[in-house]
Amino acid sequence: MTTELSPSNRETTYPSAYPSGWYHLLDLDALAPGQVKHLEVLGKQLVVFRGRDSGKVSVLDAHCPHQGADLSGGKVKGDCLHCPFHDWSFAGDGRLAAIPGLDKIPRARVRSYPVREYYGMLWMYHDISGDVVTPPYEPQAHPEIDNGEMVYRGQYTPRDVNMHICEFIENSVDFQHFAVLHGHLTIPWTQIRVPGFRVRHQAGWELDPQRPHVAYFLNDPYLIFRGRHLHKTGLHAKITLFGPGSTVWFRFQLPDLGDILMFQTHLPTAPLNQRVKFRYYSHRKVPRALVWYVVGHWISQWRADLEIWENKVMRKRPVLVSLDGPVHKMRRWVKQFYEPKPRVHLEVQRS
């Protein structure tokens, strides 16, 4: 049975807006030592600051446990954040460090979250319960960036997208839409179609047998020109879905040249609003213009989905046919990020 839904009901058709996973909060170059920022993301008010002495970045709940002032109006001295209201200071782990004029201070703290500085990005682990937990897995290292074989090539931040975070992963198993929305060759970074060409996709989707939080979307697109398959235009793309769609990376393999590695991250600032960022690296041998072309081509394909994502609802029981991809397999996998699990809470949370 089909139900009529007004746009204001879109949100109610989706699962929780903030599933468990690692999230890209901000780019590290946007946070100098001593700098403080307020963030309203993941259904939370957070304060992010970088210590002056250690250079370490910390993320805390934004409001002071004393009288509730917003700590993001405060100042960093040494490695502590000072509240703007009565100048209590807090260490990066959220512990109350000092109260001016008082020797014996109470044991108090503000919640602090697990963070990692990861290839120019600040990642924070968020649990669906909203509480602080020990992350069940770590962000994956990329040795080719660590050892300098791959180099930074750029980043791109589009406008926010009015969609639920689950839609990106839902899209990866939706094999039927490739021909409709992604079947045209477009000028990179635009929606302008190049006449005469079609793009065919050979898609696959699989789970990582070792790591339960990882799945892969595989695609080998190639070009058709006036009905002829252009054999030399093949490109192999492996997309790693790392968690609930918050952090994804693409590996584009270019024969004889090397690879492009691109991170795509989604940060929910509201149930149906994603801040999206792209950050890309490549082997040194890959010319910059080719990186620009391949990344731009992906951005064009990504943009082709926006109008659908920004207006659709989620069908809990979609009518599926044999042309659809493994929707049920994907949904069984993704469920793990939407279920709070009993875990050992960090020691720092006990006040």
CB of 37 to ligand FES, least distance (A): 18
Question: CA-to-CA distance for 312 and 319, rounded, in angstroms?
Answer: 15
Count the site residues for Fe ion by CB under 5 A.
2
Question: CA-to-CA distance for 169 and 21, rounded, in angstroms?
Answer: 14
Regarding 197 and contact with ligand FES (CB under 6 A), the answer is no
305 binds, among ligand FES, Fe ion, none (CB under 5 to 8 A by kind): Fe ion
| DSSP assigned state of 40 | E
How far is the CA of 139 from the CAs of 178, 214, 323, 330, in angstroms? 30, 11, 34, 21
Regarding 170 and contact with Fe ion (CB under 5 A), the answer is no
Question: CA-to-CA distance for 18 and 246, rounded, in angstroms?
Answer: 10
CB of 272 to ligand FES, least distance (A): 33
CB neighbours (10 Å) of residue 290?
Answer: 16
Which residues does 310 contact at the CB level (< 8 Å), separation at least 6? 161, 162, 163
User: Considering beta carbons, is residue 69 or 314 the nearer one to ligand FES?
Assistant: 69
CB of 164 to Fe ion, least distance (A): 15
CB of 90 to ligand FES, least distance (A): 9
Cβ-contact 91, 79 below 8 angstroms: yes
Question: CA-to-CA distance for 283 and 140, rounded, in angstroms?
Answer: 18
Regarding 219 and contact with Fe ion (CB under 5 A), the answer is no
Stretch that binds Fe ion, among 188-196, 214-222, 278-286, 299-307 (CB under 5 A): 299-307
CB of 184 to Fe ion, least distance (A): 13
Question: CA-to-CA distance for 96 and 109, rounded, in angstroms?
Answer: 5
Question: CA-to-CA distance for 163 and 274, rounded, in angstroms?
Answer: 6
User: Considering beta carbons, is residue 247 or 300 the nearer one to Fe ion?
Assistant: 300
CB of 240 to ligand FES, least distance (A): 42
User: Considering beta carbons, is residue 66 or 312 the nearer one to ligand FES?
Assistant: 66
CB of 68 to ligand FES, least distance (A): 6
Question: CA-to-CA distance for 96 and 89, rounded, in angstroms?
Answer: 6
User: Between residue 78 and residue 107, which ones bind ligand FES under the rule CB under 6 A?
Assistant: 83, 85-86, 88
170 binds, among ligand FES, Fe ion, none (CB under 5 to 8 A by kind): none
Cβ-contact 262, 248 below 8 angstroms: no
Strand arrangement, sheet containing 193-200: 184-186, 193-200, 222-225, 228-230
| DSSP assigned state of 252 | E
Helix (H) or strand (E) holding 145: helix 143-146
Regarding 171 and contact with Fe ion (CB under 5 A), the answer is yes
66 binds, among Fe ion, ligand FES, none (CB under 5 to 8 A by kind): ligand FES
158 binds, among Fe ion, ligand FES, none (CB under 5 to 8 A by kind): none
Regarding 125 and contact with ligand FES (CB under 6 A), the answer is no
User: Considering beta carbons, is residue 171 or 219 the nearer one to Fe ion?
Assistant: 171
171 binds, among Fe ion, ligand FES, none (CB under 5 to 8 A by kind): Fe ion
Binding site for ligand FES (CB under 6 A): 64, 66-69, 83, 85-86, 88
